[in-house]
Structure 1
Amino acid sequence: MSDKIVDGTEDVVGVLTEQIEAHFGMSMDQLKAAVSVAPAANSRATDVVKWHGLLAESQAVLDRAEDSLLAALETQPSEVDDPTMGLAHRVNVAVAARDGRALVVRWLLDPDASGKKDLAAERLARFNRTARKGPAVQTSAPNRPATAPASAPRSGRNALR
């Protein structure tokens, strides 16, 4: 058995990397290179590369936390001390961060993901509003009299000081 903690899940980063490569039809290295050359060319690709990098980073943090926990557990007697429990907590936090980033990558890859249809409809509505044939409100300046009326000096209680 490996000296990594096994929780029954697959290699999350590896699985998502394969899905990204299949989705974009190129290797992750090629996709990263394309995004670095023209980040504005495809915002979805740019977002996927960004979040994949964050996912890989969080996986590395998780790996280090697991290694530290395993090393501490090997030196423990039957009861686990507080520092080792702290390491276990670090592993839990790292798993949550990794899994959250994995969910973002999955959401970015899924064109039918929850919230995307509403977002697309909102963008389309905004686009259609900007395609009006005429102005929604009067855009010309209002007619002004040739001379402005003279204002009388104020006096009394309501005078400005």
Structure 2
Amino acid sequence: MRDDTDDVMGLIAQRIEDRFQMPLADLRRAVGAAPQANPEATSVVHWHGLLTEAQGALEKAEDALVGVLSTTPGELDDPAMKLAHQVNAAVAVRDGRAMVVNHLLDPNAPGKRGPGAWRGAEPAARRGPALPTTPPALPHTQGVPVRGATR
């Protein structure tokens, strides 16, 4: 199974290197030296670090589960089930972080195209409402006594 995960991690690293036209280690150093120079690179490097961390946690959980399964034949006991759930959770975390990295690398991802498509868009790029609107008419309240107020 490690070969598959190495392939996945390798493919994601290759996509990052292709996108930024430099080796991943050089990109990490560049982002560390000047994080504000390229916010997109900073974000990708940050999430790739989280992905690498999640992959390490998954591998540890898998190793622990394999260790228990190899010594305990038969039905799974509670500790083995707990380890199996930890592996499932680690897979979910790793996959979620991989999706974030893939989203950050995809220039055509939803929310990345068009003016004002993302929260970080410049105010000038934002458009007005789709339908013409007018401010709501407030009810006339002059002469309505307010409880507790004195004149």
The 5 Å alignment of 1:27-38 reads 27-38=23-34
- Give the length in aligned residue pairs: 127
Q: Secondary structure at the match of 1:19?
A: helix
Partner of residue 16 from structure 2, selected from 14, 20, 25: 20
How far 1:116 moved relative to its partner?
1.4
Is contact 2:28–2:45 with CA below 8 Å preserved after alignment?
A: yes
How far 1:127 moved relative to its partner?
2.4
State the partner residue of 1:127: 124
Counterpart AA for 1:15: L
State the partner residue of 2:97: 101
Counterpart AA for 1:80: L
How far 1:78 moved relative to its partner?
1.3
TM-score, reference length from structure 2: 0.75
CA distance in 2, matches of 1:121, 1:61: 35
| Pair 1:77-2:93 in alignment | no
Partner of residue 113 from structure 2, selected from 114, 117, 141: 117
State the partner residue of 2:60: 64
How far 1:118 moved relative to its partner?
5.0
Is contact 1:55–1:101 with CA below 8 Å preserved after alignment?
A: yes
Q: Give the share of equivalent positions with the same residue, in percent.
A: 50
Gap regions ≥5 residues in structure 1: 130-156
In structure 2, the CA distance between the partners of 1:26 and 1:60, relative to structure 1 (3 Å rule), is same
Partner of residue 39 from structure 2, selected from 43, 46, 55: 43
Is contact 2:47–2:97 with CA below 8 Å preserved after alignment?
A: yes
Q: Higher relative contact order by CA 8 Å / sep ≥ 6: 1 or 2?
A: 1
Q: Secondary structure at the match of 1:116?
A: coil
Cα root mean square deviation, aligned: 2.3
In structure 2, the CA distance between the partners of 1:119 and 1:48, relative to structure 1 (3 Å rule), is farther
Q: Secondary structure at the match of 2:25?
A: helix
TM-score, reference length from structure 1: 0.71
CA distance in 2, matches of 1:119, 1:64: 44
Is contact 1:12–1:102 with CA below 8 Å preserved after alignment?
A: no
Is contact 2:111–2:117 with CA below 8 Å preserved after alignment?
A: no
CA distance in 2, matches of 1:109, 1:5: 24
CA distance in 1, matches of 2:37, 2:5: 35
In structure 2, the CA distance between the partners of 1:35 and 1:96, relative to structure 1 (3 Å rule), is same
